[in-house]
Structure 1
């Protein structure tokens, strides 16, 4: 099926180059929610980091524990400012000779600049390979069946539970806090990484048509993918983040931060916030009434209570069952001390789950 060009996707947005839908966004959401579908996310940036020192080097610069990362496995990481604010988020997979990082569209250049400045005497050669490599995602509860059709069997994601505040030393094992099984795709010269809710494939752009044909999965657009991401409360860098976001505010502590690994930029803030047990803000799922307007709020629209801004909307979407929903980052005490929430002209309610 040919993609439908949808003018309402702002060409200047991060998803401006993505396919919005293939004719029926609600049906595509249901496919991803109840079966399995293939989403073209080839607008994401991809960096490659070959070199013998790549894992110890990335371990020293980021929030993740990577020295014990096995070949053909993946994880995710953050790069923080000196004050602990999130500057970069990346998914990664290592094939035994190179570490592949995929991140938000347009974010690759900034991360590459930072990494290039930190090479010193390390044996690493980071490079932007976005022009050559594409990211596609299999999404849905039938992901494992879809992978078997490609000749791959992968274990489910393995995530270490987040310890309570003031935990004892040694509670967090010396390994990536989120470990994603991976495998080679020799027929397509690519890699596949099993993640929560699906699997990500990194392949040469020239191999995409063959991969789509071999997968034999229905195609779904970015609207469907984003609606399910919002419903699952999964944050996205640049959408549910701003210049002062702390990892704990959006739930990245569980997947991208190793709480016993020290000596990286921003580590002191990570430790302090975790042991206090209450970050300044929190990620919530909003239900929008959709009465005053049928238009979804734009990213970073203010969430207002009693005439004052108490947060901002990250991503809003039309869910095929839940209606208008949005992820928002709001003050920690919102919903604890009452007051009606407004997002533009729409009344909003925080999902209690």
Structure 2
């Protein structure tokens, strides 16, 4: 088991129950989030967690969230500053009676990962939730969230001052970034940004619902999806000395771009699909050989 302390904002989203709830309509805060985020909010069962993107009208990602559905409200987990996010969301709620509260100062966030993490959770709290679900034990939210690092893992969010974890098992931020890259996990601002469709990043299976109805950016996503396979795809690369933004060539043809670089010789980047074969060697403008390790969409989260 390994663990890392995450420095991410926590925002409570709540609101008034819809006046027509007796006709089967949802609460206003559910309607608000459902029309804003890429994944299915209405379909989330109580005490569950899912991953979402927030898009521009053109389909470009601008934010990412893990969304936790609790008894009567949602909790947004985001890497962006809470004040900035709240100001943005306030502009989008229109006449909906939706309220946003920054809970970041109240919460500590530990993520446990590895096969032994379940045993640890059961030992401390006597119970561990199933994949995609969460439980609340006292002042602590415990969510089974294998999407975050592509392996068995648990979010621990809340009052954790009494939690004892071995320092020897703590992951550094650098180690976590290297793991993100090796696991082909796209990040907003790097792989998920203007100029690239989220579908090229391989997030469709866990971040986007094609059946939920309208949300901001939905039409752009649908156009890309129904055209068939994207011309570019996200890949894991291996080489020393790469730089983010560096171009990749196959012969004289530019075929890709590096988007994230770790400290262990691995990187992520987009490559034209027809040139994205495992073990293929591409080159930087300076002639550095770059080995293509795998196509990320083939990695099931």
TM-score interval (norm. to shorter): 0.7 to 0.9
Q: Distance in 1 between matches of 2:79 and 2:208?
A: 19
Q: How does 1:156-195 map to 2 (within 5 A)?
A: 156=131, 180-186=132-138, 189-195=139-145
TM-score for both structures, normalised by structure 2: 0.82
CA offsets 1:274-294 (integer angstroms, 9 cap, x no match): 122222421100011x3xx5x
Alignment of 1:299-314 (within 5 A): 299-306=244-251, 309-314=254-259
Unaligned runs of 5+ in 1: 1-35, 157-179
Tell me, yes or no, if the aligned pair for 1:240 and 1:313 is still in contact at 8 Å.
no
Structure 1 residue 306, shift from structure 2 partner: 4.2
Could you tell me how far apart the structure 1 residues matched to 2:112 and 2:285 are? 32
- Give the match for residue 67 of structure 2: 92
CA pair 301-238 structure 1, distance change in 2 beyond 3 A? same
- Aligned pairs for 1:1-353 within 5 A: 36-41=1-6, 43-52=7-16, 53-106=28-81, 108-151=82-125, 152-156=127-131, 180-186=132-138, 189-196=139-146, 197=151, 198-203=153-158, 207-211=159-163, 213=164, 218-288=169-239, 290=240, 293=241, 297-306=242-251, 309-319=254-264, 324-335=265-276, 340-342=282-284, 346-352=288-294
TM-fit CA distance, 1:343: 7.7
Give ranges in structure 2 of 5+ residues lacking alignment.
17-27, 296-301
Q: What is the CA distance between 1:257 and its match in structure 2?
A: 0.7
- CA contact 1:301–1:344 (8 Å) conserved in 2: no
Q: Aligned residue for 1:175?
A: none
Q: In structure 2, do the counterparts of structure 1 residues 110 and 306 end up closer, same or farther at CA, with 3 Å as the change threshold?
A: farther
Instruction: Please report how far the alpha carbon of residue 136 of structure 1 lies from its aligned counterpart in structure 2 after TM superposition.
Output: 1.8
CA contact (8 A) 1:81 1:265 kept: yes
Cα RMSD (Å): 2.5
Structure 1 length normalisation: TM-score? 0.70
The CA distance in 2 between the partners of 1:344 and 1:223, in whole Å, is 27
- Tell me which moved more, 131-140 or 215-224: 215-224
Does the residue aligned with 2:224 lie in a helix, a strand or coil? Answer: helix
